Amino acid sequence: MKIGIAIRDVSEITGKWHVKIYVSSKGSNTVYIPTGIYVRSNEFDDANGEVVNIPLASMYNAQIADKIARYKKIIFQFGDIINDYPAKKIKEIITKSEKNKKNGLVSFISVANDYISELHKEGREGYATTLESTNNVLKKYFKSKDVYFIDLDSDSIAEFKRNYVKNTGKEVTANKHLRNIKRIYNLAIAKRLIDKESYPFDAISIPSDYNAKIRKLDAEIIKVIYNESGIGRDFFMLSFFFCGMNLKDIFEMEYFPDIIDIDRAKTSRTARFVHLRLSIPAEAKEILARYADPSRQKMILTQFSHERYLNHRINDDLYAIAAKHGFKRFSFTYARHSWATIAGRLRISDDVIDKAQMRSVTGEMIERYREYDFSQVEEANRKVIDHTLYMV
């Protein structure tokens, strides 16, 4: 990639040449950025790339040098990856940054990291982890240690999503990353770090997760998983036996001998207090015995320090089970969706399903003004387990 000065395009009005800054990149056509300075052909030194022979030569050359220095500062933020960009893309980066100089110098990653630190202080580890994941995905996509707001216009965000879905097949996760990007954009605008005009999400629609494909398995496949062994099988079935409980809740749960009595762990999705009381099914006790905490402080004890590491191991095992039986690949999340789907097919009401899965949509009146009858959840869970494993 090269950047320099040339004269191009004679003005029909004055007969003078326009001094322009050129950008060239391997494998693409050279592009030119106007400076607004016009000279005659004998007033420009091609060899040295400078204006000569006129009283304003020194001023013009200083203005051009200042522009080139700014442009280099902008493009060199991108590191070696800039050498892979076509000249047209580099010009777009420069001109957008010049339109709003502040945006070109503000790091998306830094703003996100500051917010992540705040989340850790507030104990919102789940949301912090999600944002850290978005940072890492963006750095990998842009092949850079830093990503700037100028990188994330509406076109590049749309292309990022297409690329992510193409490579992973995970549209729901792609949409989560877009929501995180939107959140950091809003924070940066609120802090006056970037201009409102740079906001790209007026042109981008992020589908609700509830419009995405439901990730569920039929009862016959879950029974095959039940007859397998290993950590993937164990935690998938444990979630299923606990009404499709999230891994974070299982991982952090304190010890209970017979009846679970918990509040849902706080995550970015938990709108408010949600509670569950559920007798531990016999099928779950068999699994819990293998991961028992000798001190009986927690319900389970594993070698993993965080549930995300456990989740990776679980999913690796589940992918292997799917490959072994020729099933379409599935993950731990399918336990939750499958329990809800099977419960719905068994004509269990939506409000009982929501309560069993500790969803925040459950009526607030129930939480505040009367005690919920958890026997309905008990009956629903037993009905789902019996139908799935024993075809009752």
- What is the C-alpha separation between 376 and 63, in angstroms, rounded? 76
CA angle, 178 as apex, 313 and 190 as ends, to 5°?
A: 125
- Per-residue pLDDT, 300: 94
**Segment 106-141, tens digit of pLDDT:** 889 999 999 999 988 888 888 888 999 999 999 999
**Alpha carbon 119 to its chain's center:** 16
Helix residue ranges, H only, the chain: 57-76, 87-99, 101-105, 108-121, 125-142, 154-168, 171-190, 219-226, 231-241, 247-252, 282-288, 307-325, 334-345, 350-356, 364-369, 375-390
169 lies in the same domain as 265: no
The domain of 368 spans 219-390
Residue 44, H or E segment = strand 44-45
> For position 255, which CATH number holds?
1.10.443
289 lies in the same domain as 385: yes
Domain endpoint, select from 39, 65, 98: 98
- Per-residue pLDDT, 336: 95
**End-to-end CA distance of the chain, in Å?**
69
46 lies in the same domain as 75: yes
Residue 263, H or E segment = strand 259-263
Q: How many CB atoms lie within 10 A of CB 125?
A: 18
Question: In the predicted model, what is the mean pLDDT of residues 45-64?
Answer: 90
47 lies in the same domain as 142: no
- Per-residue pLDDT, 272: 44
CB of 5 closer than 8 Å to CB of 22: yes
Question: In the predicted model, what is the mean pLDDT of residues 128-156?
Answer: 88
Residue identified by tokens 């201009």 is: 195
Amino acid identity of residue 80, one-letter, is D
Amino acid identity of residue 54, one-letter, is I
Sign of the CA dihedral 257, 259, 260, 261?
negative
pLDDT > 90 fraction of the chain, expressed in percent and rounded: 50
- Per-residue pLDDT, 83: 79
Tally of domains in the chain: 3
Question: In the predicted model, what is the mean pLDDT of residues 137-155?
Answer: 86
Residue identified by tokens 């924070």 is: 187
83 lies in the same domain as 134: no
- What is the C-alpha separation between 359 and 274, in angstroms, rounded? 7
Q: Evaluate if residue 244 carries a pLDDT over 90.
A: yes
**Segment 171-211, tens digit of pLDDT:** 888 999 999 999 999 888 888 777 777 788 887 878 765 44
Q: Which pair of tokens denotes residue 346?
A: 């068994």
Q: Which pair of tokens denotes residue 367?
A: 């939480």
- Per-residue pLDDT, 380: 95
Sorting pLDDT into bands at 50, 70 and 90, what band is 150?
confident
232 lies in the same domain as 362: yes
- Per-residue pLDDT, 271: 39
Q: How many CB atoms lie within 10 A of CB 382?
A: 13
Domain endpoint, select from 51, 79, 98: 98
Domain endpoint, select from 195, 211, 227: 211
Question: In the predicted model, what is the mean pLDDT of residues 338-364?
Answer: 83
- Per-residue pLDDT, 203: 76
Pairing of strands 44-45, 50-51: antiparallel
**Segment 84-109, tens digit of pLDDT:** 888 888 888 887 776 655 444 688 99
- Per-residue pLDDT, 254: 94
Closest CA to 260 of 127, 142, 117, 358: 358
**Segment 364-377, tens digit of pLDDT:** 444 444 567 789 99
Sorting pLDDT into bands at 50, 70 and 90, what band is 64?
very high
152 lies in the same domain as 207: yes
DSSP string, 63-121: HHHHHHHHHHHHHHTTGGGGGGS-HHHHHHHHHHHHHTHHHHH-BHHHHHHHHHHHHHH
- Per-residue pLDDT, 383: 96
173 lies in the same domain as 235: no
Q: Is the pTM of this model over 0.85?
A: no
278 lies in the same domain as 359: yes
> For position 183, which CATH number holds?
1.10.150
Sorting pLDDT into bands at 50, 70 and 90, what band is 247?
very high
92 lies in the same domain as 126: no
302 lies in the same domain as 237: yes
Sorting pLDDT into bands at 50, 70 and 90, what band is 326?
very high
- Per-residue pLDDT, 365: 40
Sorting pLDDT into bands at 50, 70 and 90, what band is 238?
very high
34 lies in the same domain as 113: no
